[in-house]
Amino acid sequence: MTVRTGTSGRGPALAVWGLTRAVLLLCVFKVFTVPGPDVTSDVSVIYRGWYEVLRAGSYPLDDVTWQYPPAAALAVLSPDLLPFLEYASAFFVLVLLCDALVLGLLLYAGSRPGMRDAGTWVWVAGVPLLGPTVYARYDLMVTAVAVAALLAGVRHPRVLGALAAFGALLKVWPVLLLVGTARGRATRRSWSAAAVTAAVLVLAAGVVLPGAFAFLTFQRDRGLEIESLGALVFHVARQFGWEGRVELRYGSMEFAGPHVALVSTLALVLSLFAFGWLLVWRLRARAHAVHTPADAAFTAVLLFTVTSRVISPQYMVWPLGLAAVCLVFRGSRMALPACLVLAATAVTLLEFPLGFAHVVASDAQGVALMTVRNGLLVAATLAAGRRLWRDTVPGARQGRPAQRLSRAGRAGTPASAP
């Protein structure tokens, strides 16, 4: 028997969304001033500068802060869709529209048989926890593509693949949406669609504008950003006389000095181990449920976020959006990791922009904030990985077995769907 969720929660969710997003807009439009660095300068200065270069017919080849795949140009140029607004204002409004799109997708998915509205509340409550930064970067746009991909992929694997490829060419990480697709036809359809879409977009980018892949060099040369997990080593080391410093490099604050290169390399090694774990999981997983692609994508993004050399504040919207998708499905066991991500998001606001001076100084408050935020992310990653493994690997599951898909479900349609 299928269980239908009611629509009684929509009114409160819409009301809270409207109120919190109004506050975010007031912050980015500087009606309210948030203490700390001006988070809107990336849009009004950096993005606007890239916009002028792109409009002139080239990628920003001389700007090392351009570290994004070629389709990111679409996000930077998107304010042209609202020519009656000034660049930054148009950008903030477009991010708001993407936020509303995610809300609509989650509300629709949550109202379907066998689904729930918990995911909607994760999104409604989680986004404002990041503060105005979430509207002053294009990461929410990418997350909207990822959410749409996972929800569409339940019935249409090819759409999942195409959107995942498009998202990957916006900001790389959405390629991880493909890691949990069901074996057989669903994987063949989604992965082939992703390959074709990526090839077409890469070819188009290379033909239209020169320098589409300059970002690879700039990204390779990045160092250890002060908000990353590995940076905690040097935050603590500074208390004992470490002779290093903090520098503005590649658009973010990074540590420079003795042993930084070593820790940065170790972070890359951890990312390789994360990839290896995902590969082993993919090979051993057998029990596949309708929520498995979302759970796997959520876990994968957490793994590569915590092992990254850079954990910028806006990165938190990635696992937040995927956690929301996970909790739309009744069978998902990602509630605890999702709550840990929500807590980490709230602490992120305390460290940036509110307490960023303390983080740069590596004083007691700054070290405490980074320890708590990154500790919560590590805990969320371990919890998500453990649950994913137990739900899908034979012999590892405990309690209620995962809901298996029927033949139609393996092609992308849940067995409980009418």
64: which 2 tokens?
Answer: 């090392």
Return the pLDDT at 175.
98
Partners of residue 255 on adjacent β-strands: 224, 246
Return the pLDDT at 218.
57
CA distance 311 to 89: 26
257: which 2 tokens?
Answer: 């000095």
- For the chain, which ranges sit under pLDDT 70? 1-9, 215-221, 397-418
Return the pLDDT at 397.
60
Return the pLDDT at 412.
39
Residues 6+ apart with CB under 8 A from 253: 225, 226, 227, 246, 247, 360
Return the pLDDT at 9.
67
Structural element, H or E, at residue 245: strand 245-249
Alpha helix segments (H runs only) across 111-138: 118-129
CA distance 271 to 305: 9
CA distance 66 to 279: 30
Return the pLDDT at 8.
57
**CA 72-253-29 angle, 5° bins:** 60
Classify residue 414 by its DSSP letter: -
Q: Is 382 exposed, middle or buried (0-12, 13-18, 19+ CB in 10 A)?
A: middle
Return the pLDDT at 408.
37
Return the pLDDT at 416.
31
